[in-house]
Amino acid sequence: MKDFEHLLSVWQEQPKQPRLSVDDVLKQVKRGVNKLGIGVLYGIIAITVAIIFTGGLTLFAIFENRLSYIGLFVMLFGMISYLVLQIGDYRTITRHDVTLNPAAYLNSLKEYQQRRAYLNGRFYYAFALMICVGVSLYTVEVFANKPLFFKVLYYTFCGATILFTTFYLKDKFIKREQKRVSYLIERLERLEGQFE
């Protein structure tokens, strides 16, 4: 019985978490969401520029080999798919105002976290594969008259770039973004817990 009473007294003596200021939390969440939204918006702008460039190349360049067109269409399909997902993520994160309904905003943040996990997880590898296949098919005709050394150097550089972004930059970026989103969710959940 002494052990139980001792545990009970230790548990009751635990310091309680300080109450959060609603204004401070909402300001932090707004700032964090703005950073996330700007990052997604930059991604949308970058992929739109790439789509316009690739679309212009597809429409106005003349190729003798059909593989070049197939490669460009594969790249366009991958980029357009990525753009659609990015726009969905942007709409998810900017759809609600945190000051009007924090509970709905918390749900949209959780939905955003799931969507980004899909985009940065399984879809990323499909996207990278489409871009690699597209570039490979496109460059068959473009590099037809180039020396073998140039082709090997180009494909080695492309492969190294894709491996570097896939296994280093992607993971670093995802961890940073997940940390931000998890922090915002934790703050809103704590704030919500104060009012229950």
Q: Where are the domains of the chain?
A: 33-194
Q: What b-and-e string marks burial along 139-163, b requiring 16 or more CB atoms within 10 Å of the CB?
A: bebeeeeeeeeeeeeeeeeeeeeee
Is the pLDDT assigned to residue 62 strictly greater than 70?
yes
Residue 153 to residue 149: CA distance in whole angstroms: 6
Residue 174 to residue 118: CA distance in whole angstroms: 11
Taking CA 58 as the corner, what is the angle to CA 54 and CA 61, rounded to the nearest 5 degrees? Answer: 115
Is the pLDDT assigned to residue 5 strictly greater than 70?
no
Residue with tokens 């659609």: 84
Taking CA 45 as the corner, what is the angle to CA 42 and CA 47, rounded to the nearest 5 degrees? Answer: 105
pLDDT tens digits, residue range 105-142?
778 888 888 888 888 878 888 888 898 889 888 888 88
